[in-house]
A and B are shown apart, each in its own frame.
Chain A
């Protein structure tokens, strides 16, 4: 299977070059793979995920995702909209928007008409088991429900890669398990690549491969 993510000698320094968040990362992830990136706090795993998601630019090295060179310094907005879907530790939903409206947000940049956007978003809300809560606002939903909405939002625009940063980090273990079940099901059915950053061993064990990091390096 071909590699969808290829990173070579990836470096990202903060505060001048005092903090070496990424210090020469080499990583290949195959198309359709389910990988967990694990490591203690400050090991650079979230920074790496931000690079893979086009939220931040590496200082040096090579990074190509789904055939796109992420080092070219171009605006990665379209990449973020089409190629990757993000699930954050904190659900990061917009509180003034309903669950359904939050799922529609990424579709604003697509060419879909309003009706089609709504239909697709409703399908995604159904998929994550929240059909009856589509019109609920985030503050009215439980932590697990919010994270489900966040997963539905990550699936909008049908991205090839799902990136999840500590998706169970702010949930109790039962809700965390349900979220992991959902993510694993989506990965299994949708032929998507799933990259999860976690420091929880139980979450990591669900992945088909674990990449461990320490002090900005893969170990």
Chain B
């Protein structure tokens, strides 16, 4: 068994450059799958945490918006949400996106001072802002990336916000942004009486969140939508869906392109070794052993590509995460299912691409193969 495995390894290593190039080709596909998987998973976790900020049971956003950030809920609607039977608390949050010197998409969370406790932000330094003042409590990641400390100011849309505290929640989007008084952000963004989202907690009497949110949405006649999990997010943001679709499409392409790559490499190697295969058959090798040898070579290409692909993918993620904008949106999601997908693609590509050449190799007549020049 070991000698047979050594033979397979030797066969691949005989054509080093071809093997290396093929492995590189397949591994780039696998690296893309790993990178996209980790990013999509990370973004998904970030969004899930946003929806569940402060252990909210669900989040309310405007219905039928193309992007979550376009959502707009009026003060009257917020009042109505608060008055809905079963709702224990409802906190309005306005999102604002501004450019800062080192981060092209710095997220501001406009919230009333009295509601800060509900979002469970841990103040690590300083204090929270006072309502009405141009004060900002900056997230821990943002403070590090933008090199800001208490007492510094951050220019936001022509106004200088003074940093009065540093907080963390564990959510990269929040920790990469900052908390400001709701009224100030509303005024600055010309969104008086509006919030982007409402974090809702229900009373103990509500046991079935799903039926509660169904009734809730009916009550607002589709003007508002509820997000109880990241899956609901697609109703207000097509970005995640696009990412998921892209990721799947790239996986499929990687399988097809990689499969053709493996098939080409193994096919060339089989034709070049026609005579050798004839010799092996002449000295008594069964067709099954020839098939196993060729498939083994293809499989080994796949295994190498999985290793190299995952390494490249992790390297790319490591590189991406050196950017502040990535740190403020994403905690890489190194979940098992991403690597499982990479392994599955690698195995599919190698076995799929190796099957035809392996089958062809068994069809050689030993006498004819021996005559092959």
Contacts and interface: CB of A to CB of B under 8 A. Distances in A.
A78 interface: yes
A92 B279 contact: yes
Interface in A79-129: 80-82, 86, 88, 92-94, 96-97, 101, 104-106, 108-109, 114, 117
A42 B280 CA distance: 26
B13 to A, nearest CB: 8
A108 B285 contact: yes
Contacts of B2: 114
B11 interface: yes
Contacts of B363: none
Interface size class of B (residues with CB under 8 A): 20 to 34
B279 A94 contact: yes
Contact of A104 (B3, B282, B365, B370): B3
A104 B4 CA distance: 10
B286 A77 contact: yes
B366 interface: yes
Contacts of A97: 7, 10
Interface in A126-171: 153, 156-157
A56 B3 contact: no
B365 A86 contact: no
Interface residues of A, number: 28
Given A77-B286, A96-B10, A117-B3, A105 B367 contact: no
A107 to B, nearest CB: 9
A50 interface: yes
A53 interface: yes
B284 interface: yes
A114 B4 CA distance: 10
Contact of B282 (A80, A108, A114): A80
B283 A80 contact: yes
B86 to A, nearest CB: 73
Contacts of B367: 50, 55-56
A88 B370 contact: yes
Nearest to B2: A114
B366 A92 contact: no
Interface of B: 1-4, 7, 10-11, 14, 275-276, 279-287, 289, 365-367, 370
Interface of A: 50, 53, 55-56, 75, 77-78, 80-82, 86, 88, 92-94, 96-97, 101, 104-106, 108-109, 114, 117, 153, 156-157
